[in-house]
Amino acid sequence: MSADRSSLLSEDVKMALETIRTHKVRSFLTVLGVVIGVTVAITVTSILLGFQDNVQSAFDQFGVNNLFVFKFEQGFRGRLSQEERTRKPLTFEDAMAIRDELPAIKEVNVIALPRIMESGPPQVRQARYKGKEVSNTRFRGVTPSYVEVQSATMKEGRFYTELEDVHRVELAVIGYDIANALYPNESAVGKPVQVDGNVYEVLGVLDKKKNTFLGMSDNEVFIPYRTYRKHYPQDDETFINAMAFPGMKDAAEDQIRSLLRTRRRVPPGKPDNFGLSSAEQIGDKFRTIMAGVVQLVVVIVSIGLLVGGVGVMNIMLMGVTERTREIGVRKAIGARRWDITLQFLTEAVTLTGIGGAIGVALSLGFSVLLRLLSIPSLVPVWAVFLGLAVASSVGLFFGIYPAVKASRLDPVIALRYE
């Protein structure tokens, strides 16, 4: 009995493929909505998952025990409020108090950067060497603890020391991409690099980051914190990256909040006038945003699949009309209602299944193309199988009515149909 059913199903699939082959253009136009829906769904999913993977990798580089302290909250957000834009910057003394007075803090890294202006683009500084120039340089003054707090590694050379920072020595540590752009065929260590008319000796080159998303480019030039403040006393923004002892991040967050509220004279009951966050918290915000995007994509894709499903139903109803006499002949020689129903359902599922397969193939091609264009894209195996399953389900759902209608035809009337 099982073999008979298997043979019957195999015959139905062959008939479905023959029908699709006979009406190639009509069949393709029928499942075009399914193809587009599956392609869009998998492609957008691959981009979202690729970005999420890159973002998570970028956050992991900050360290699981690190906290970010700035004058406003970091992360994915809208425009700053007037109150946030006018807050006074944090200070180097705030950073030293966090390091020296809080038992949950192991080390801090202090970064000096230009003042965040209320309007206008951020200031961009160029790095130059022997006629070569890199314009999108991330130029900052950082303390020597950067290497420990950020778990940074050196490709060559070394990072500057606390003593060199205190004496405001004209040194620089550059990123991997800066070294490749300015010193392509030679070692950068010991060579000069010019930024804003000031010349620094390159002391070391940072290793290439595993992930350069979220502005974490390798186009960086770091100089000692006090050297930076000597050249740019007006750049008084201070970003503090605090490293907690393992297992003490929550305690460190509470201690930092209490300390800064006291130092910045925040009255009890009033909100903080500074931002305190971690890579984990920023990652949670990003995932919330991604969830909203996914919901929007689901709605758009559902519309496409609905249009494709209606097209499948229309073409199947047309097929029932065209093959009325054939249905009558099959019933006359002993075909049951279930046999007719299965035949048309198989044809509908085969049709949309092929459309789903085309959509999967296109989405995989787009994923490869996106990666070649340096756009993160990750197609998981489950997305491929889900796309095929959804496409086949569309055929099954929208093929039920035409299949049942075909199975209910009266054989006598069907045989007389012209």
Over 80: is that where the pLDDT of 265 sits? yes
Q: What is the pLDDT of residues 204-256, one digit of tens each?
A: 999 987 655 544 568 899 999 999 999 999 888 899 999 999 889 889 999 99
SS (H, E, C) 120-185: CCCCCEEEEECCEEEEEEEEEEECCCHHHHCCCCEEEECCCCHHHHHCCCCEEEECHHHHHHHCCC
Question: Hey, how many other C-beta atoms are within 10 angstroms of the C-beta on 200?
Answer: 23
List the one residue out of 87, 60, 40 whose CA is nearest residue 265.
87
Task: Report pLDDT for 15.
Answer: 64
Tell me the mean pLDDT in the region 260-276. 89
Question: Hey, how many other C-beta atoms are within 10 angstroms of the C-beta on 390?
Answer: 19
> Which pairing describes strands 125-129 and 132-142: parallel, antiparallel, or unpaired?
antiparallel
Residue 193 DSSP code? E
Task: Report pLDDT for 19.
Answer: 66
What are the Cα distances from residue 404, in Å, to 316, 320, 398?
11, 10, 11
Sign of the CA dihedral with 123 first, then 129, 134, and 139 last: negative
Residue 364 DSSP code? H
Amino acid at 198: N
Residue 212: partners with Cβ closer than 8 Å, 6 or more residues away: 58, 218
Report the C-alpha gap between 67 and 249 in whole angstroms: 8
Task: Report pLDDT for 215.
Answer: 47
pLDDT-derived band at 96 (thresholds 50, 70, 90) equals very high
pLDDT-derived band at 3 (thresholds 50, 70, 90) equals very low
Token output for 329: 């002949």
Sign of the CA dihedral with 54 first, then 55, 61, and 64 last: negative
Report the C-alpha gap between 151 and 179 in whole angstroms: 20
Over 50: is that where the pLDDT of 119 sits? no
Tell me the mean pLDDT in the region 175-181. 91
List the one residue out of 272, 269, 243, 247 whose CA is nearest residue 259.
272
Using CB atoms within 10 Å of the CB of residue 336, give its burial: 0 to 12 exposed, 13 to 18 middle, 19+ buried: exposed
Report the C-alpha gap between 58 and 279 in whole angstroms: 9
Task: Report pLDDT for 2.
Answer: 47
Q: What is the pLDDT of residues 13-45, one digit of tens each?
A: 666 666 666 666 777 777 787 888 888 888 888
pLDDT-derived band at 380 (thresholds 50, 70, 90) equals confident
- Percent of the chain's residues with pLDDT above 70: 81
Over 90: is that where the pLDDT of 171 sits? yes
- Percent of the chain's residues with pLDDT above 90: 30
Residue 161: partners with Cβ closer than 8 Å, 6 or more residues away: 144
List the one residue out of 318, 317, 343 whose CA is nearest residue 330.
343
Question: Hey, how many other C-beta atoms are within 10 angstroms of the C-beta on 369?
Answer: 12
List the one residue out of 171, 150, 163 whose CA is nearest residue 108.
150
Report the C-alpha gap between 340 and 369 in whole angstroms: 44
Q: What is the mean pLDDT of the chain?
A: 81
Tell me the mean pLDDT in the region 76-84. 67
Helix or strand (DSSP H, E) at 244: strand 237-244
Tell me the mean pLDDT in the region 285-293. 75
pTM (2 d.p.):
0.66
Q: Is 196 helix (H, G, I), strand (E, B) or coil?
A: coil
Min mean pLDDT across 64-68, 75-79, 136-140, 265-269 is at 75-79
Give the phi and the psi of residue 129 in degrees, each rounded to 5: -160, 115
C-alpha triplet 142, 143, 146: angle, nearest 5°: 85
Token output for 3: 């073999």
Tell me the mean pLDDT in the region 262-280. 86
Over 90: is that where the pLDDT of 143 sits? yes
Decide: 141 and 111 in contact? Cβ < 8 Å: yes
Decide: 113 and 123 in contact? Cβ < 8 Å: no
Token output for 246: 């393992």
- For residues 299 and 11, the model is more confident at 299
